[in-house]
């Protein structure tokens, strides 16, 4: 999977990595920044997604589609799709361009809107990456966990660098008997939950 990333995907990943790095130092306002995961988290997500049981793949917080491309590598291997939700129109347009240029449109369904308005309809979730505004994490957790298949993964980003804000949700997950959970100390900290 990581040894044969299509050239168009590699090119778009490099392009977005450059913009994201510039965003972090040039004073771009927070809501306009891409705020992407680093490549090591992309690898972590694609390995987990490739290992997930049969079911639906979701992502909450697309931005320009960088993390989506990593997860979609697993979709390419499995012949499945990921559905990704993005609140902001400008980011949705950026992501659309990412999936077009990387030739990944057939593996990605992009939905513009607040993911919370759609999640209650989703069933049989086998993989979900949660990377939105931290204030919505707990709502998303509550909507996703009941609808995950046995053995499915939920990964939530920023579990260490936003620990104080996310503590109620992290504590809930660690005590939740529906999942096995831990915080993996890579990147900005990934809360990893596996549905029992
Ligand atoms: C940290 S960025 C996502 C970065 C992306 N996952 C990546 O690594 O390439 C968070 C994104 O979540 C979006 N977002 C915030 N709240 C949301 C919600 N309730 N539903 C859908 N998207 C949301 C924001 O507009 C922003 O683009």
Q: What is the pLDDT along the chain (196 residues), one digit of tens a residue?
A: 999 999 999 999 999 999 999 988 988 888 889 999 999 999 999 999 999 999 999 999 999 999 999 999 999 999 999 999 999 999 999 999 999 999 999 999 999 999 999 999 999 999 999 999 999 999 999 999 999 999 999 999 999 999 999 999 999 999 999 999 999 999 999 999 999 9
Q: Are strands 56-60 and 125-130 parallel, antiparallel or unpaired?
A: parallel
Contact 148, 154 (CB under 8 A): yes
87 ligand 1 Cβ < 6 A:
yes
Q: What is the pTM of this model?
A: 0.97
CATH fold of 7-195 reads Rossmann fold (3.40.50)
3-class state of residue 21 by DSSP: helix
Q: Choose the residue to mutate in 23, 35, 61, 104 for probing ligand 1, maximizing ligand atoms within 8 Å of C-beta.
A: 61
Instruction: List alpha helices for the chain, DSSP H.
Output: 7-23, 39-51, 66-78, 89-101, 137-144, 163-175
Ligand 1 center–CA 66 separation, angstroms: 11
**Domain positions in the chain:** 7-195
The position carrying tokens 């030739």 is 103
């Amino acid at each position: 999977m990581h040894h044969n990333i299509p050239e168009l995907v590699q090119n778009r990943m490099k392009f977005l990595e450059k913009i994201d790095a510039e965003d972090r130092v040039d004073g771009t306002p927070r809501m306009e920044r891409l705020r992407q995961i680093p490549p090591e988290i992309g690898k972590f997500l694609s390995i987990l997604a490739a290992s997930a049981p049969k079911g639906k793949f979701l992502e909450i917080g697309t931005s320009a589609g960088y993390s989506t491309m990593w997860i979609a590598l697993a979709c390419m291997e499995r012949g499945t799709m990921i559905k990704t939700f993005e609140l902001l129109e400008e980011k949705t347009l950026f992501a659309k361009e990412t999936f077009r240029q990387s030739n990944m449109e057939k593996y990605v369904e992009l939905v513009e809107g607040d993911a919370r308005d759609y999640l209650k309809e989703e069933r049989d979730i086998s993989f979900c990456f949660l990377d939105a505004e931290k204030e919505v994490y707990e709502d998303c957790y509550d909507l996703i966990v009941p609808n995950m298949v046995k053995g499915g993964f939920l990964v939530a980003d920023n579990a260490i660098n936003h620990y104080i804000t996310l503590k109620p949700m992290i504590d809930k997950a660690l005590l939740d008997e529906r999942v096995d959970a831990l915080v993996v100390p890579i990147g900005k900290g990934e809360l990893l939950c596996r549905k029992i």
